[in-house]
Structure 1
Amino acid sequence: MDPTEFLDGGTVTVSEETYTVYKTEHPESSAFATIRDENETTVVAEAGTVDDANVVESEDGWKRLTFEMVLPFELFGFLAAVATALAEEDISIFALSAYSTDHVLVKERDVPAATAKLEELGCRVAQRE
């Protein structure tokens, strides 16, 4: 499968919310995402909902771009295509994958350039309601 087939005509929504990505010792049950491995716990939560007492390190000002499409496990290179396209515009991403959907977080200041690049790839970009 070619990832460009999913990008061309695919819908990407931009979150209304702004997020904080942080390292913590205590996962937050109300967070958008929690990633735990043997070394650390990373949480993605809406800005303003973070308990600073639990934060080890943090990075504020992220917007979530969600690829509103079911991405099969057999698909290879999808995030690589997105990351490469955005890297060409000097846009850093924080990538998250759910079971069948991918999300990338980009800094709020980079949203206009990121959405323009995704539109060049054939995506329809909309604000999440």
Structure 2
Amino acid sequence: MVRELPPGLTHLFAQTKLYTDGEEYVIISLPVERQREAVTLFAQLYGLFGALLFDKDEVTLVVPWAVWEGVREALGGFEEARGYRLITFDLPLELGLVGYLATASSLLAEQGISIYALSAYARDHILVREDEFDRAWAILSGFITRCQAALSESAG
């Protein structure tokens, strides 16, 4: 049984492929005055998944641990949370879409799994703790399978 979803979401979830790259990620907070250093570090990620966010109070980076491990001692003055794994909802999504990421995050929240959500222009991504990754993957995969079955039943 698929939960009641906003119009069109069952169809989108049925088309969704999950992707992960097997990397360990770290989420880093730097003081806002260290934007230049953050940009320099971020430039090293060519071809890798990463995120860089500036707000009025801090600079946040999401980078593979293997990249961060090589530079962290030289930077100093940061907070970090390591041990995250990436799950990408590998399906182009429209910017105006309502409820897609909320549905996925609700499924995981109901099972006590915390996420760190990131959105690119056309795809959504979440980071989950490494020790919860397999469970999160199974929950999301199971939901996608149920959406596919629901569409098959309604078409048949």
Identity of aligned residues (%): 29
| CA offsets 1:76-104 (integer angstroms, 9 cap, x no match) | 01111011001111111000000000100
TM-score by length of 2: 0.73
Answering whether residue 34 of structure 2 is matched by residue 12 of structure 1, we say no
Tell me: CA distance 1:117–1:80, structure 2 relative to 1, closer, same or farther (3 Å).
same
Answering whether residue 36 of structure 2 is matched by residue 30 of structure 1, we say no
Which ranges in structure 2 are unaligned for 5 or more consecutive residues? 1-6, 146-156
Of structures 1 and 2, the larger Rg is shown by 2
- Please tell me the root mean square deviation across aligned C-alpha atoms, in Å: 1.5
Which ranges in structure 1 are unaligned for 5 or more consecutive residues? 124-129
Shift of 1:19: 0.5
Letter in 2 for 1:41: V
Shift of 1:111: 1.1
Q: Is the 8 A contact 1:64 1:106 kept in 2?
A: yes
Answering whether residue 57 of structure 2 is matched by residue 39 of structure 1, we say yes
Higher strand share: 1
- In 2, Cα distance between equivalents of 1:12 and 1:97: 15
Higher helix share: 2
TM-score by length of 1: 0.87
Q: Is the 8 A contact 1:63 1:106 kept in 2?
A: yes
Q: Is the 8 A contact 1:19 1:45 kept in 2?
A: yes
